[in-house]
Structure 1
Amino acid sequence: MALVPLNLLVTHDGKSKRQHVTCVHKCGDACSKPVPNTSDNEYFGDIAKAVSRRSVLQAGGMAVLAVGAGSALAACSNTSQPAPTTSSSTAAAQPPAGMNFASVAPNSEDAVVVADGYEQAVVISWGDPVLPGAPQFDVTKQTGAAQRAQFGFNNDFAGLLPVEGQPGRFLLVTNFEYATPQFMFPGYDPDAPTRDQFDVEIAAMGMGVVEVERTPEGGLRPVMGRYNRRITADSPFTLTGPAAGTPFVKTAADPDGGTVLGTIANCAGGVTPWGTVLSGEENFHAYFGAPEGSPAPGPVDADRNDRYGIALEPSELQWETFDPRFDLAASPNEVNRFGYVVELNPWDPASTPVKHSALGRFKHEGANIHVTSDGTVVAYTGDDERFDYMYKFVSTRKVQPGTSAAAMTNNMAILDEGTLYVAKLSSDIPAAEIDGSGELPATGSFSGTGTWLPLLRSGPDGQAESLIDGITAAEAAVFTRMAADKAGATKMDRPEDFEADPKTGKVYVALTNNTKRGTDGEPPADASNPRNDNKSGQILEITDDHAGTSFTWDLLLVCGDPAAADTYYGGFDKTKVSPISCPDNLAFDSHGNLWISTDGNALDSNDGLFAVALDGPNRGETKQFLTVPLGAETCGPVITDDLVTVCVQHPGENDENSIDSPQSRWPEGGNGTARPSVVAVWKSGGNIGV
């Protein structure tokens, strides 16, 4: 059967291992389109030059600069950096607890490859039954009705929530990010998708809750439990916060602007301390389209659409031909009802999930929570686009412990009341030492300071106040990118997952890559994004005044080939690390090690899962724990003392292949269909990495 053709007139970056077909369906082919952020925000280099002119560095020590503030940072911040660890000092260092395993070598196998001495098994795959009455998966007999009761396609985030009073039983909560029809439907014709295929795609996306239990061997298996649930791209959601009920989100089908059908493009997420799950709506723009030549709804709306990458042209999946709410010309406000952080209560299968507009609307990779000592809740979230921003939300409500109805009512409103901020970074490193090569400055590491700029203050019942002149509260909630542009936020290299270290409170950010950095008309390298043509990304470490507005930062990793001069592994001996490229999702183990999954490895190897030491002489030591099959991305890592799970997304996606001519047969092997799956890894009779 003929392969599904790709648009040969569109040139993919060719930098990472991510295939063009994945870009088309996962992110709307963003890497081949103009950068949506055309704001003229101050470049890092401009700031550094100003600092140099004031001779800040001539004072015998590094002065602390709070960008956008008139005073020094809070006492908890510290810009002094330890000297890089030398090879001789690391030679005798033993692996830290949790990292005592033999690194997996880079490879291109069509299999999940785990560290020696570890076992693995698939937990659940696309199409497996989730609800009673669901049929067994048959790739040739797919229907929307069947898919609504089955495990969805392209699982990304995963949360594993223990069931109280039932040792070894958990709720596995997952996102299903996107559909790639040529890897779902035999004989798929991209020029003539069918209504039946649309019905399956709608049902295959969204979220899922599945009860799982430990097996006698040590893995996990699904259970047909009472909590099992599927959320799809047309399930009802309640929109809360400043956007709800405003003219920007009202439609003919929902004149009140408070009930949205579906969640789409759900990428990463987080588990809250009160037992719910957060999910980020990321590349939602790609599901909306319009017939060629459709008139723009107005010059202001056109500007807003451009800022979000929304185009009045036919979409790749052509959903607009099957449902008018995806037609930008017929229902221009529908797209404004996506791009939020979603909260699901998995313990109540009858509950309606919510979309929190107080956290802003943009391409959320996910959201993760840190709770301060006084109960203040801080949510960190990134906008996964080249040259977009990092955000945090500080709630005015305090978390209430327990699972009572009163506690849950309070906690489910935590993300509706508080202040949304965007990050602005600076550095005292002279501009001449940041030339785009990634070479370390004289201080031995990339570091600096920053401030959180307030954008929007939200209160009870959707009351809100914009903190940006000339922008209303509703505009700040729905068109948050434009408010952040006006505030003067720092343009970053695709900020994806945020995680706060539960031991130290430091916040880590995965900046995946940005090959447009330093190209004509785009921002040059700066201290936090130190390489032009950044193919492999970096990990940012933030020491934050969580409920306040000041922070310091430094780069833990500048990823890529350890033999290359433009990489940095926390000062650790680079001859003793696993090469890592394109960091995506983050997690912590109980020992305090950071775990990183990758997406689009630019080093000619399959993507994988890595552990990184954060403290002591091993700081920066990076070890690969597993790799995923050909064409796949490693997503949603969960790290416990005796179990690791990962989501294997889009196995076998390759520009030259399709379901009719597959690159991968994982996990079934033989003549089986490549199916996105959750995989469990464990060590017989022992714990992970000890």
Structure 2
Amino acid sequence: MSLLPLNLLVTHDGKSRRQHITCRYKCGDACSKPAPNTSDNAYFGDVVKAMSRRSMLRASGVTVLAAAAGSALAACDSRSPVAEPAAVDVPTPPGMNFTAVAANTDDAVTVADGYRQSVVIRWGDPVLPGAPEFDVANQTAVAQRGQFGFNNDFAGLLPIAGQSGHYLLVTNFEYVTPQFMFAGYDSEAPTRDQFDIEIAAIGMGVVEVSRDSDGTLRPVIGPRNRRITADTPFALTGPAAGSEFVKTAADPSGSRVLGTFANCSGGVTPWGTILSGEENFHSYFGAAEGSAAVGPVEADRQKRYGVAAEPSELLWETFDPRFDLAVAPNEVNRFGYVVELNPWDPESTPIKHSAMGRFKHEGSNIYVTDDGAVVAYSGDDERFDYMYKFVSSKKIQDPGPARDNAEAMAHNMTILDEGTLYVAKLTSDIPAAEIDGSGALPSSGSFQGSGTWIPLLRSGADGAESLVAGMNAAEVAVFTRFAADKAGATKMDRPEDFEANPLTGKVYVALTNNDKRGTDGKAGVDAANPRNENKNGQVLEITDDHTGTSFTWDLLLVCGDPAAADTYYGGFDKTKVSPISCPDNLAFDSHGNLWISTDGNALGSNDGLFAVALDGPSRGETRQFLTVPVGAETCGPVVTDDLVTVCVQHPGEDDDHTLESSLSHWPDGGASAPRPAVVAVWRDGGNIGV
């Protein structure tokens, strides 16, 4: 057996702190089930192995040793030790000059010293005129349709032109957990009233907020306020629209979809609209066991997306036949898209953009090149799934600060319907023997490589063209995962949020975790996913030819316990960082620092929000700015010069508790019910981190 450096013996066997009940309702318990990607794509570690073997044979003609132990020892002996960074004082980057918050398990939002906080809005607070104050014991669907929804995830904060201190706060409401909404909930026999409330509690919301002189953000019942629910009408555009795969008895045109749900992260477009990703949509559809028999092709399509002909967790199919796979088998194909909402027009119809592909979108974020080309990046948040980008053939038009240029807004709302969809394939020249699953750095001192964007689908005003053999354009748009499988895309460790640095153009990807990496029958490690049973995740940095097909990449962070040898913090001194685990959502401040919120911290602490330096001697320095309450996830960070907001999702969610015996009583304290909420953090008399 090979000998490992002594510091590899540091153990951190903890798994994600996400509770099983959260997995059941948030993602349909996906992590306890086989990964839907069963393609035989060679993970790029196979490619590297082949390249390394050919190089060895060409270089010396040596005989390849048959003994695995001997090979491993030889590889270890040949590796150059990586020098530890010198323990020197490095100036704190602007935007990160705050005292790091210590890891904790408190039932509170804990912020950096010298900063203030307040709850902006929480589940059940009124957002529409006439909506009642929240009463957890007397909920109704009518009330919930006028109130702030449940389990807010993404948030966007859009300044209102001409109204200083006023913003539109746009949020996603990702999923419901009935045990923490309804007293005495019976998962085997939910009621019609509970179903109606759940339909109203998820989707999206728009609410005006104003900032008081003391810094507090408060909701305003304004004319732009709006609730989008699981039955709000949407327009389906792009190659999927009108195809045989999305037509239903209720919508024979295949162009008008009711609702959005499983909305995870998102993005604010440069023209002032909101993009929202429909992620774990599969778990809302079900059927009585064995009652939704379909042909082998349809069965494969459902399986690749995690759809199962069995009773769903929420049992919505017992109340509305469109959720019954036996009655409406195409309805599920109408979800899994990037949604675009114009928050400035409360009467507008939101759009689902099928030209951007259908998969479990974590979200979508846009980068605009100097010549006005629009590039949208998106991750498919599933173990062993892929990274995508969409390059529009249209250029952005200026809608004006008040978004009152109707012609420009109408043009910009079609930008994501015309262009080319790509999927990423990564490679690396790092010798395969140096990627052994331990996460130890290669002799080069970092994990890096290059990659190619493989085109899948081209859409235009005159129609769409499949770029994948054996699939037509509608098939690529609706069953994008199959197209990416055929293209040979690289299997990643749950690619979640994508964000481009507005100062440098570099693109960052949160790869949250994948504890099945390298296990029996699953894809092995490679340079971008270098750890077996990856519990803590990593952050990928891409230098992209945005409108082209080539890129290079580095791992900025390999997250986890800084004392463990399988972690990497950009080369920064690991004794001086805040430990980070399970990166999820990303944001940037005006200084170019990356901010990361976490979901499922596997290091024993509550989740939090972290700032990370990207350049110079501070590259990789990581500081925790806040933590969220026990059982909660940190989502949707917004970072401005003088304000930070985060969404606190599912506080107190725990396998051994319910609404009646909650682990958390945040944000109202006492014996109150826990309520997901948006929190604002600011500093009196100064900007964030300076």
Q: What is the rounded CA distance, in whole Å, between the counterparts of 1:308 and 1:630 in structure 2?
A: 31
SS in 2 for 1:329: coil
The 8 Å contact of residues 85 and 573 in structure 1, kept in 2 or not, is answered as no
Residues 1:551 and 1:111: Cα distance change in structure 2 (over 3 Å): same
Q: What is the rounded CA distance, in whole Å, between the counterparts of 1:114 and 1:58 in structure 2?
A: 58
1:399 to 392, 396, 417: 396
The Cα shift of 1:42 comes to 1.1
| Corresponding position of 2:4 | none
Q: Which amino acid aligns with 2:641?
A: D
1:242-296: per-residue Cα shift (whole Å, max 9, x none)? Answer: 0000010000000000000000100000000000000000000000000112142
The 8 Å contact of residues 379 and 497 in structure 2, kept in 1 or not, is answered as yes
1:209-258: per-residue Cα shift (whole Å, max 9, x none)? Answer: 00001122112000011110000000000000000000100000000000
SS in 2 for 1:186: coil
Comparing 283-292 and 452-461, the one that deviates more: 452-461
| Corresponding position of 1:324 | 321
1:435-464: per-residue Cα shift (whole Å, max 9, x none)? Answer: 100000000000000000000000116x10
| Corresponding position of 1:210 | 207
Q: What is the rounded CA distance, in whole Å, between the counterparts of 1:34 and 1:598 in structure 2?
A: 24
Map 1:544-563 to 2 at 5 A: 544-563=544-563
Q: What is the rounded CA distance, in whole Å, between the counterparts of 1:22 and 1:32 in structure 2?
A: 12
Query: Is it true that 1:652 corresponds to 2:649 in the alignment?
Result: no
Normalised by the length of structure 2, the TM-score is 0.93
Query: Is it true that 1:170 corresponds to 2:167 in the alignment?
Result: yes
* Structure 2: stretches of 5+ with no match in the other structure: 1-12, 60-80
Query: Is it true that 1:617 corresponds to 2:654 in the alignment?
Result: no
Residues 1:84 and 1:95: Cα distance change in structure 2 (over 3 Å): farther
| Corresponding position of 1:518 | 518
1:62-97: per-residue Cα shift (whole Å, max 9, x none)? Answer: xxxxxxxxxxxxxxxxxxxxx988532x52112100
| Corresponding position of 1:365 | 362
| Corresponding position of 1:432 | 433
Q: Which amino acid aligns with 1:385?
A: E
SS in 1 for 2:591: coil
| Corresponding position of 1:20 | 20
Aligned sequence identity (%): 77
Residues 1:30 and 1:641: Cα distance change in structure 2 (over 3 Å): same
| Corresponding position of 1:346 | 343
Q: What is the rounded CA distance, in whole Å, between the counterparts of 2:58 and 2:591 in structure 1?
A: 40
Query: Is it true that 1:333 corresponds to 2:330 in the alignment?
Result: yes
The 8 Å contact of residues 84 and 572 in structure 1, kept in 2 or not, is answered as no
The 8 Å contact of residues 85 and 571 in structure 1, kept in 2 or not, is answered as no
Map 1:199-238 to 2 at 5 A: 199-238=196-235
| Corresponding position of 1:151 | 148
| Corresponding position of 1:535 | 535
Q: Which amino acid aligns with 2:680?
A: A
The Cα shift of 1:388 comes to 0.1
Query: Is it true that 1:443 corresponds to 2:444 in the alignment?
Result: yes
Q: Which amino acid aligns with 1:634?
A: T
Q: Which amino acid aligns with 1:478?
A: V
The 8 Å contact of residues 379 and 394 in structure 1, kept in 2 or not, is answered as yes
Residues 1:261 and 1:57: Cα distance change in structure 2 (over 3 Å): farther
1:630-674: per-residue Cα shift (whole Å, max 9, x none)? Answer: 000000000000000000000000000000110000000001110
SS in 2 for 1:535: coil
SS in 1 for 2:146: coil
Query: Is it true that 1:240 corresponds to 2:240 in the alignment?
Result: no
Normalised by the length of structure 1, the TM-score is 0.93
| Corresponding position of 1:185 | 182
The 8 Å contact of residues 84 and 571 in structure 1, kept in 2 or not, is answered as no
| Corresponding position of 2:668 | 668
Q: Which amino acid aligns with 1:354?
A: I
Q: Which amino acid aligns with 1:418?
A: G
SS in 1 for 2:49: helix
The Cα shift of 1:628 comes to 0.1
| Corresponding position of 2:65 | none
| Corresponding position of 2:103 | 106
1:83-129: per-residue Cα shift (whole Å, max 9, x none)? Answer: 988532x5211210000000000000000000000000000000000
Q: What is the rounded CA distance, in whole Å, between the counterparts of 2:674 and 2:446 in structure 1?
A: 43
The 8 Å contact of residues 92 and 618 in structure 2, kept in 1 or not, is answered as yes
SS in 2 for 1:415: helix
The 8 Å contact of residues 14 and 603 in structure 2, kept in 1 or not, is answered as no
Query: Is it true that 1:590 corresponds to 2:559 in the alignment?
Result: no
The 8 Å contact of residues 499 and 508 in structure 1, kept in 2 or not, is answered as yes
1:307-330: per-residue Cα shift (whole Å, max 9, x none)? Answer: 000000000100000000000000
SS in 1 for 2:230: coil
Q: Which amino acid aligns with 1:628?
A: V
SS in 2 for 1:87: coil
The Cα shift of 1:53 comes to 3.3
Map 1:346-495 to 2 at 5 A: 346-402=343-399, 403=403, 404-460=405-461, 463-495=463-495
Comparing 491-500 and 405-414, the one that deviates more: 405-414
Residues 1:197 and 1:57: Cα distance change in structure 2 (over 3 Å): farther
Map 1:272-291 to 2 at 5 A: 272-291=269-288
The 8 Å contact of residues 497 and 586 in structure 1, kept in 2 or not, is answered as yes
Query: Is it true that 1:571 corresponds to 2:571 in the alignment?
Result: yes
Q: What is the rounded CA distance, in whole Å, between the counterparts of 2:355 and 2:371 in structure 1?
A: 22
Q: What is the rounded CA distance, in whole Å, between the counterparts of 2:410 and 2:295 in structure 1?
A: 40
Q: Which amino acid aligns with 2:610?
A: F
Residues 1:593 and 1:536: Cα distance change in structure 2 (over 3 Å): same
The 8 Å contact of residues 355 and 418 in structure 2, kept in 1 or not, is answered as yes
SS in 1 for 2:548: coil
SS in 2 for 1:432: helix
| Corresponding position of 2:191 | 194
Q: What is the rounded CA distance, in whole Å, between the counterparts of 1:130 and 1:504 in structure 2?
A: 38
1:24-57: per-residue Cα shift (whole Å, max 9, x none)? Answer: 0000000100110000001222211222234399
Q: Which amino acid aligns with 1:87?
A: P
Residues 1:263 and 1:373: Cα distance change in structure 2 (over 3 Å): same
1:145-203: per-residue Cα shift (whole Å, max 9, x none)? Answer: 10000000000000000000111100000000000000000111111100000000000
- When the two chains are superposed, the root-mean-square deviation of aligned CA atoms in Å is 1.3
1:522-572: per-residue Cα shift (whole Å, max 9, x none)? Answer: 001100000000000000000000000000001000000000000000000
| Corresponding position of 1:9 | none
The 8 Å contact of residues 82 and 441 in structure 2, kept in 1 or not, is answered as no
Q: What is the rounded CA distance, in whole Å, between the counterparts of 2:437 and 2:57 in structure 1?
A: 21
Task: Report the count of equivalent residues.
Answer: 653
Q: What is the rounded CA distance, in whole Å, between the counterparts of 1:644 and 1:111 in structure 2?
A: 17
SS in 2 for 1:173: strand
Residues 1:607 and 1:85: Cα distance change in structure 2 (over 3 Å): farther
Q: Which amino acid aligns with 1:266?
A: N
SS in 2 for 1:482: helix
| Aligned structure 1 segments of 4 or more residues deviating by more than 2 angstroms | 53-59, 83-88
Q: What is the rounded CA distance, in whole Å, between the counterparts of 1:672 and 1:382 in structure 2?
A: 37
Q: What is the rounded CA distance, in whole Å, between the counterparts of 2:199 and 2:91 in structure 1?
A: 50
The Cα shift of 1:682 comes to 0.2
| Corresponding position of 1:133 | 130
The 8 Å contact of residues 56 and 428 in structure 1, kept in 2 or not, is answered as no
The Cα shift of 1:14 comes to 7.2
Q: What is the rounded CA distance, in whole Å, between the counterparts of 2:513 and 2:104 in structure 1?
A: 21
1:301 to 293, 298, 301: 298
